Amino acid sequence: MSHAVARLRAERLARSVKPFIARGSRAPRCPNCRVIFSHCLCALRPQVPTTSGMCLIMYDVEPLKPSNTGWLIADLVSDTSAFGWSRTEVDPALLALLADSQWQPYLVFPGEFVAPERVVTQVLPVAGKRPLFILLDATWPEARKMFRKSPYLNHLPVLSLQPEQLSRYRLRRSKRDDHLCTSEVAALCLELAGEQHAAETLDAYLEVFTNHYLNAKNYLPLDLEDAAHLRLRTLCAPLSY
């Protein structure tokens, strides 16, 4: 496995003074999907071409958490970048990405916390540019802190999503059902960019990942013919090779 989130995870582990132990983590996990080997889902990783790019700015230990869904985005969207967040420093590679003329960046964040003149609700075509969605991958309190204390993002338009469905993410608790996980946010961004097939595939992939993760946690067998697996296979079938 060699995508942006995997590399960031390796960098973060290299800086750790002690091993990171995920809660409930006893059995060895597959290094590529972060699920215990008996429930590995590497063979189900989808391959979907996308025009859009994703930029994950990840809070501290977020890339180390097995339940992190930014990993799923990097699995599916080939143009995914990932950077660790710091209050006092910014990676020069992140600044270079934001300034790259091939991209039209959108900072994805709720519009209710932003000056109205920065808020957009649609992804409009820009000649010669591809949409780049910047996602703050963190808990909600951490994401608000990142938003306030990242002045290099202040010039970007803020894409405010209006999801019709409540979150179906079941791996971590949130006080509000309208708080979506990072993968759900990315799927909505892809949909706004007109990449419906990629959006649906990422949504299906999240459901399968959740299925494997929870069944492993609860020592339950997998049903590879259930609705979630069948949906993912159907979405991927036309692109298999």
Task: Say if 183 falls within a structural domain.
Answer: yes
In a domain, residue 168? The reply is: no
Average confidence (pLDDT) over 199-205 = 97
pLDDT of residue 165 exceeding 90, the answer is no
Closest by CA position to 111, among listed 119, 103, 99: 119
Distance between CA atoms of residues 84 and 134, nearest Å: 13
- On the CB side of 8, CA atoms within 13 Å amount to 28
Residue 129 lies in a domain: yes
Q: Which residue has the higher pLDDT, 92 or 240?
A: 92
Q: What does the alpha-carbon distance between residue 20 and residue 57 come to, in Å, rounded to a whole number?
A: 20
Task: Find the distance separating the first CA and the last CA of the chain, reported in whole Å.
Answer: 19
Residue 176's pLDDT band, with cuts at 50, 70 and 90, is very low
Residue carrying the six token digits 């079941």: 170
Q: Which amino acid is at 238?
A: P
Q: How confident is the model at residue 27 (pLDDT cuts 50, 70, 90)?
A: confident
What integer best gives the mean pLDDT of the chain? 90
Q: Checking phi first, is residue 215 left (phi over 0); if not, alpha (psi -120 to 50) or beta? A: alpha
Nearest to 41 by CA among 49, 28, 32: 32
Residue 92 lies in a domain: yes
pLDDT at 162: 81
What average pLDDT does range 90-99 have in this prediction? 98
pLDDT tens per residue across span 113-164: 999 999 999 999 999 999 999 999 999 999 999 999 999 999 999 999 987 6
Q: What is the pLDDT of residues 31-51, one digit of tens each?
A: 999 999 999 999 999 989 999
Q: How many independent structural domains does the chain possess?
A: 1
Taking each helix axis from N to C end, the angle separating 227-236 and 196-217, rounded to the nearest 10 degrees, works out to 150
Please report, as a single letter, which amino acid is at residue 61: V
**Residue 42 contacts residue 32 (beta carbons within 8 Å):** yes
Provide the token pair at 15: 């800086």
Q: Are 16 and 192 in contact (CB under 8 A)?
A: no
- How far apart (Å, rounded) are the C-alpha atoms in residues 200 and 192? 12
pLDDT score recorded for residue 163: 73
167: in domain: no
- Residue 37 inside a domain? The answer is yes
The stretch 209-235 carries a mean pLDDT of: 95
Q: Would you state the pLDDT for residue 187?
A: 95
Tell whether the model's pLDDT for residue 86 goes beyond 90.
yes
- The full DSSP string for 54-66 is EEEEEETTGGG-T
Query: pTM higher than 0.85, yes or no?
Result: yes
Structural domain boundaries enclosing 204? 4-15+24-160+175-239
Question: Is residue 165 assigned to a domain?
Answer: no
Please check whether residue 74 lies inside any domain of the structure. yes
Take residue 175 and report the two structure tokens written for it: 């006080």
d(Cα 60, Cα 109) in Å, to the nearest integer?
A: 19
The predicted pLDDT at position 240 comes to 42
What mean pLDDT comes out for the span 57-64? Answer: 95
Q: What is the percentage of the chain residues whose pLDDT exceeds 70?
A: 88
Question: Is residue 1 pLDDT above 70, yes or no?
Answer: no
Residue 241 has pLDDT above 50, yes or no: no
pLDDT band at 22 (very low <50, low <70, confident <90, very high): low
